Amino acid sequence: MAKVKVWISAARLRTLPLSVSGILMGGAAAYYNGYSNTLIFVLALATTLALQILSNFANDYGDGVKGTDNEKRVGPQRVLQSGKLTREGLKQGIIVTVIITLLLALLLIYVSFGSEQFLLALLFFVLAVASVWAAIKYTVGKSAYGYRGLGDVFVFVFFGLLSVVGTNFLFTKTINPLIFLPAVTVGFLSTAVLNLNNMRDIDNDKQSGKHTLVVKLGLMRAKKYHFILIIGAFVAMLLYLIGIAQTGSAHLYFCLVAFVPLFIHLKKVVEIKIPSLLDPELKKVALSTFLLTVLFLVLVIV
């Protein structure tokens, strides 16, 4: 039982709601346009959850091996850092999770495209492999992109564009240009969570040689960048709601109440001077993003 708790700790359950936000948004947009498939939706959620857990395992391993996770790090203690799991044990967990993730992705692709649409199935399998690669290479290896300030780009692409647009395509088999607006919203908010994380860890990252975008920008400019992400997300979502507006759809605007805690959060970010005190703000942004997508899904259904 103790071992199970260690693996649950390594999976970082608090990160999972944010990871499925893109699936909820893409699925909701598809439903609004008359497309639904419960099995595709469930498999998309399961694949994304497996991918996020893989990313968390790999992040724990990569930062642990490089020594970035140390006694100076703010936030929950990692399993490799604490010695609760060995390098070999965590590596085996990563391998198993890769296999599970790819199997779920293959099942999702088959249910979505069958054997008739081979090229589309192949494209999505390549995207699945790319997602697995991105989850691992964020911190693992000498060329880890998270150590070169590229984490923000990958989070925006995979958590925003690919998650929302890709999920929507699984249902509709088409790409409506408007779908990129909520994709940008989820992408910006997901990137904001990473930016907060990196602002919190700026001092330790500098000392550990982890050159995140925050380290490159400095704390003050990183805060301005954070404002752009949150405000940009709000504008993109508002434009999307205007774009899909039709008679009887005014209630959809209610999902924007999820931005209220985000705007309050921005005031907090300005007031906080000590980076470590930003830690509680991560949960606020992650849960607000999840709330936005859940509200939109519920409002679309009702």
The per-residue pLDDT for range 25-76, each reduced to its tens digit, is 999 999 999 999 999 999 999 999 999 999 999 988 888 777 665 565 565 6
Looking at residue 77, what is its pLDDT?
64
Q: Are 190 and 265 in contact (CB under 8 A)?
A: no
Range of the domain at 157: 14-301
Residues of the chain with pLDDT under 50: none
Q: Is residue 5 part of a domain?
A: no
Q: Is residue 268 part of a domain?
A: yes
Q: Are 50 and 97 in contact (CB under 8 A)?
A: yes
Distance separating alpha carbons of residues 243 and 63, to the nearest angstrom: 42
Q: How far is CA 74 from the centre of its chain?
A: 20
Contacts of 150 (CB under 8 A, 6+ apart): none
Distance separating alpha carbons of residues 160 and 22, to the nearest angstrom: 6
SS (H, E, C) the chain: CHHHHHHHHHHCHHHHHHHCHHHHHHHHHHHHCCCCCHHHHHHHHHHHHHHHHHHHHHHHHHHHHHCCCCCCCCCCCCHHHHCCCCHHHHHHHHHHHHHHHHHHHHHHHHHHHCCCCHHHHHHHHHHHHHHHHHHHHCCCCCCCHHHHCCHHHHHHHHHHHHHHHHHHHHHHCCCCHHHHHHHHHHHHHHHHHHHHHHHHCHHHHHHHCCCCHHHHHCHHHHHHHHHHHHHHHHHHHHHHHHHCCCCCCHHHHHHHHHHHHHHHHHHHHHHCCCHHHHHHHHHHHHHHHHHHHHHHHHHHHC
Looking at residue 7, what is its pLDDT?
87
Q: Is residue 128 part of a domain?
A: yes
CA-closest candidate to residue 30, choices 232, 167, 184, 123: 167
Q: Is residue 3 part of a domain?
A: no
Q: Is residue 8 part of a domain?
A: no
Q: Is residue 165 part of a domain?
A: yes
Looking at residue 249, what is its pLDDT?
87
Task: State pLDDT tens for residues 173-192.
Answer: 999 999 999 999 999 999 99
CA-closest candidate to residue 108, choices 40, 159, 172: 40
Looking at residue 71, what is its pLDDT?
60
Structure tokens, 53: 């857990």
pTM greater than 0.75 (yes/no)? yes
Domains: count for the chain: 1
Looking at residue 1, what is its pLDDT?
59
